[in-house]
Amino acid sequence: MSPQPPERPRTSWTLPLMALLSACAAPQAARLDDATPTLPAEEEAAQRLAGASCAGGWSWLLPGAGQLCRGERGEGGALLGLTAVELGGLLLEPPGVSPAVWGIALQNTWIYAVADIYRDDRLAARALYTPQDSLDALVLAPVHPDVVLTWEVSLGVVGALAAAITWSALTFPLRPEADDDATAARLQLSLTDSLRFGGTSALLFSHVAIGEEILFRGTLHSRMAASLGEGWGWGASALIFGATHLTNLVALPRERWLTYATLDVPFITLVGAYLGWVYQDTGYSLASPVAVHFWYDTLLSVAAFAATGGEQPFQLSWGLPF
């Protein structure tokens, strides 16, 4: 029997992926006290601010413009490209995706671009509790094992999702006469429909998670924690997060206003309080609250899609505590 050649070592495709995730999306803790030496993100922000060719405030007019002014070509170009695609979708209304989806995505791209410039100023000033996470870190956070496999994220998503579904069933039950229709519609859903919906939801809620977290946690929570104290920053930002969702009343039928304002908004405030607690508990890194927010919204929309036989996320969201 002839000797077998030695087996060549196998190179798993997962190794480069894990290396990429570890390099680009590792959670970064913020400055927690004034005695901490200057952090790399703070030094980079100060250099960008000193070498800026124009005002960062240009991002108020065009997402990404302020980043380009500060020499962030990659991030600025990405934001400009996203803005162009989302604005085109909103104006041209291509089939398959509602204008509401394009509008929500564009809104959150704008929020991120403006809040990121404000955060850059805070980093350059070495302000306490300012998040260090880059845009690519936030995009990859929902799939980064160091983020999603922590108990704060994994159990938080499961718990919040179960609570939201139970809450929705109690406060916004399906009409009995619609049950048969919904059951028939569920049976007719194709794999293509489900995959298209899942992809649309993931893209939409990646925007929502990043935009809302950098605004409510990365900006409001951190600034109030630095000026008022960590407890006050946590509580006040959660209340503002919940109160802001009262704007959803304009899209609700009048008979839903009282229920939404008195039941759903307090629930959303509790979700915001949990996101704020995760934010503080992980050293004021946005990666974990972004991951919780993304999976909560995405899985809740998919569950409602299956339960209602194919509703769109922007249509069903008014009956759910997003």
pLDDT in tens, the chain (322 residues): 444 444 434 444 444 444 444 455 567 889 999 999 999 999 999 999 999 999 999 999 999 999 999 999 999 999 999 999 999 999 998 887 888 889 999 999 999 999 999 999 999 999 999 999 999 999 999 999 999 999 999 999 999 999 988 887 777 665 544 445 554 545 455 566 667 777 888 899 999 999 999 999 999 999 999 999 999 999 999 999 999 999 888 877 888 889 889 988 999 999 999 999 999 999 999 999 999 999 999 998 888 777 666 555 444 444 456 5
Domain co-membership, 235 together with 215? yes
Domain count, the chain: 2
Identify whether 260 is part of a domain: yes
Domain co-membership, 118 together with 198? no
Torsion angle, alpha carbons of 292, 119, 128, 285, to 10: 20
Identify whether 209 is part of a domain: yes
pLDDT for 63 equals 97
Rounded to whole angstroms, how far apart are CA atoms 155 and 166? 16
Domain that holds residue 254: 132-322
In SS3 terms, the chain reads as CCCCCCCCCCCCCHHHHHHHHHHHCCCCCCCCCCCCCCCHHHHHHHHHHHCCCCCHHHHHCCCCHHHHHCCCHHHHHHHHHHHHHHHHHHHHCCCCCCHHHHHHHHHHHHHHHHHHHHHHHHHHCCCCCCCCCCHHHHHHHHHCHHHHCCHHHHHHHHHHHHHHHHHHHHHCCCCHHHHHHHHHHHHHCCHHHHHHHHHHHHHHHHHHHHHHHHHHHHHHHHHHHHHHCHHHHHHHHHHHHHHHHHHHHHHCCHHHHHHHHHHHHHHHHHHHHHHHHHHHHCCCCCHHHHHHHHHHHHHHHHHHHHHHCCCCHHHHHHHCCC
Say what the pTM is: 0.86
User: Contact, 131 vs 286, CB < 8 A?
Assistant: yes
Angle at 87 (CA atoms; ends 289, 286), nearest 5 degrees: 10
139 Cα distance to chain centroid = 8
Domain co-membership, 268 together with 221? yes
Domain co-membership, 81 together with 136? no
Identify whether 43 is part of a domain: yes
Identify whether 9 is part of a domain: no
Domain co-membership, 145 together with 94? no
Of 97, 160, 183, which is closest to residue 299 (Cα–Cα)?
160
